[in-house]
Amino acid sequence: MTDLATALTAANSAVFRSLGFEERYAEVRRSDRPDLGEFQCNGALAAAKAAGRKPQEIAQQAAAAWTATDLAGKPAIAGPGFLNFTTTLGALTARAQAIADDARAGASVVEHKRRVVVDYGGPNVAKGMHVGHLRASIIGESVKRIYRFRGDEVWGDAHFGDWGFQMGLVITALEDELGGFADNAKLGARLRTLTLDQLETIYPAAAQRIKTDPAFLDRARKATAALQAGAEPHRTIWKAMHDVSMAAQKRDFHALGVDFDLWHGESDADPLIPDMVKDLEAKGLLEEDQGARILRVANPGETRKKKRDDGTVVEVESPDPLLVVSSEGSAMYGTTDLATILQRVRAQKPDMVLYVVDQRQADHFEQVFRAAAKAGYISRDKLEHVGFGTMNGPDGKPFKTRAGGVLKLQDLIGQAEAKARERLKENDIGADFSKAEFEDVAHKVAIAAIKFADLTNFRGTSYVFDLDRFMSFEGKTGPYLLYQAVRIKSVMRRAEAEGVLAGPISIAHPAERALTLALDGFEAALRSAYDKKAPHFLAEHAYVLAQTFSGFWTNCPILQSEGAVRASRLALAAATLKQLVLTLDLLGIEVPERM
């Protein structure tokens, strides 16, 4: 099944070929000026440039060679040489019917299935999930669903930050709290009552302390190395912290509608590290650097300017070398990432690994990817950092609470739910619902508001957190989209109650034509979202579809009409609902039954 633009491109390619023009100039897309034509090819401009001819001439030649088909009439020429196409009623009707009959609502699958690991979420043990992990979770979840829906075999992996220095830091802080680890019973009792809230106080306090207490810093580093060497009670303490954090994070992810196939952490890659380091050593890739072992990834001549503490500027290699083993002998963030690549190569044999992580970690991933390629573990082009901008506060800086702290995910969701309850009441929604249903709807509205506000921006763009705006029932928001979907659901319920059945689609009214074209746009939006790892294409599609449906709703009464017209309109409404629910699901947004 192909969308209309693809079918038009194929027909136009044949015309271009027959005239000796390159096929790549034949691409037909939805027009930005629907008043001039529904679809457009602007390749005559580029073809003319390449051939040193006039665009108008090329466009005329192509238009003349086009014969009207079942798909479209002869194209019209506009502007400097655009070809404008209008599809036939037959083609449009067939497309609408195909979408209505298709469980995938008109979306195709990839030709070559790939094996894809999506690394996203990335919360850290001993630190609660905060809004910094919100975008990673929302975007990653959507990217995972998009890839899976297109037919790839996909694993989502949380890649918990449960290894490295932060662990040594908390262990050392606990050691001071307990006055040493000599008393086993005392330690056991402490660990049994350990909570995430406590860890969230201990961790930042310890992180603060190392800035002024070099002896404490030194002990924390040694504790990290001891943990990684399997020492006790380090392992036992680590396990307790890990379990407490993991349970809380599973709860938060669940509330957000985010799920993973693999709940692996950095620590899971640790057993691979000794052999990996030996292997890197044997390949001659490691260098000694002030007691640490590093892997250089810059190519000769790749440098950047760096300002030293004394103010002088020097040229240094760029990217920086990857720090593989610290001078204390412990594995670093990059080391676990490198070992995780090995682990994934063995277990999932991925054709592609996508890292949905804050843009600010771009340098880190460049180091890791280059190191993996240099070591021969995987080719560079199979690894991709899918970066994103920050969610900012009104001051334009990464979002903080009023007290200046990081907002916990749980609190954020709670705030959004409170606002959702308010809005539902203002809009007179749910007065007749049971308490449980009302709460369920409020939760879904809250999550839709948060997720849609995030996904409607291109991921690279930063945006300002504004719950009032996100939660509006009008405009480009999650609640607006839910409201539209629920409205169609209610029509379906009424139709069922009245025994009205959907029937063959026939298109007469311009609003029916517009709705079919909007439905047809799903495929192109999905493909762009997939190719560019950018869910905003689907967010935009959902919005356009909902708006176009609104126009249809106003102009084309469904249940008040009769006979074949009513059956056709009901079928169009059902197709819209199916595709809208599917699109929202690809964004990770759930639609309630009613609201």
Interface with ligand ARG (CB under 6 A): 119, 122, 124, 159, 161, 337, 355, 357
Tokens for 589, please give them.
Answer: 């947004």
Beta strand pairing call for 303-307 and 313-317? antiparallel
Q: Which of residues 55 and 161 has its CB atom nearest to ligand ARG in the complex?
A: 161
Q: Which of residues 59 and 244 has its CB atom nearest to ligand ARG in the complex?
A: 244
Q: Which of residues 59 and 241 has its CB atom nearest to ligand ARG in the complex?
A: 241
Tokens for 226, please give them.
Answer: 């001891």
* 3-state SS assignment for residue 449: helix
Q: Which of residues 355 and 470 has its CB atom nearest to ligand ARG in the complex?
A: 355
Q: In whole angstroms, how close is the CB of 249 to ligand ARG at the nearest point?
A: 11
Q: Which of residues 55 and 387 has its CB atom nearest to ligand ARG in the complex?
A: 387
The closest alpha carbon to 359, from 391, 389, 396, belongs to 389
* 3-state SS assignment for residue 338: helix
Q: In whole angstroms, how close is the CB of 355 to ligand ARG at the nearest point?
A: 5
Q: In whole angstroms, how close is the CB of 321 to ligand ARG at the nearest point?
A: 18
What Cα–Cα distance (Å) separates residue 216 from each residue in 55, 209, 307, 333? 72, 8, 29, 21
Task: Report helix angle 196-209 to 165-178, nearest 10.
Answer: 100
What string of H, E and C letters represents the secondary structure of 46-79?
Answer: HHHHHHCCCHHHHHHHHHHHCCCCCCECCCEEEC
- The alpha carbon dihedral of 12, 18, 21, 24 has a sign of positive
How far is 50 from 142, CA to CA, in rounded Å? 40
Q: In whole angstroms, how close is the CB of 178 to ligand ARG at the nearest point?
A: 27
How far is 450 from 443, CA to CA, in rounded Å? 11
Q: Which of residues 294 and 356 has its CB atom nearest to ligand ARG in the complex?
A: 356
Tokens for 512, please give them.
Answer: 């029916």
Q: Which of residues 372 and 507 has its CB atom nearest to ligand ARG in the complex?
A: 372
Q: In whole angstroms, how close is the CB of 359 to ligand ARG at the nearest point?
A: 12
Contact (Cβ atoms closer than 8 angstroms) between residue 21 and residue 47: yes
Contact (Cβ atoms closer than 8 angstroms) between residue 569 and residue 511: no
Q: In whole angstroms, how close is the CB of 340 to ligand ARG at the nearest point?
A: 6
Q: Which of residues 117 and 589 has its CB atom nearest to ligand ARG in the complex?
A: 117
Q: In whole angstroms, how close is the CB of 405 to ligand ARG at the nearest point?
A: 16
Q: Which of residues 73 and 271 has its CB atom nearest to ligand ARG in the complex?
A: 271
Q: In whole angstroms, how close is the CB of 337 to ligand ARG at the nearest point?
A: 5
Which single residue brings its beta carbon nearest to ligand ARG? Answer: 122
Cis bond before residue 592 (omega within 30° of 0): no
* 3-state SS assignment for residue 387: strand
Q: In whole angstroms, how close is the CB of 191 to ligand ARG at the nearest point?
A: 23
The closest alpha carbon to 331, from 237, 236, 230, belongs to 230
Kindly report the length of the chain.
595
Q: In whole angstroms, how close is the CB of 361 to ligand ARG at the nearest point?
A: 7
How far is 340 from 266, CA to CA, in rounded Å? 7
Q: Which of residues 122 and 319 has its CB atom nearest to ligand ARG in the complex?
A: 122
- The alpha carbon dihedral of 458, 460, 462, 467 has a sign of positive
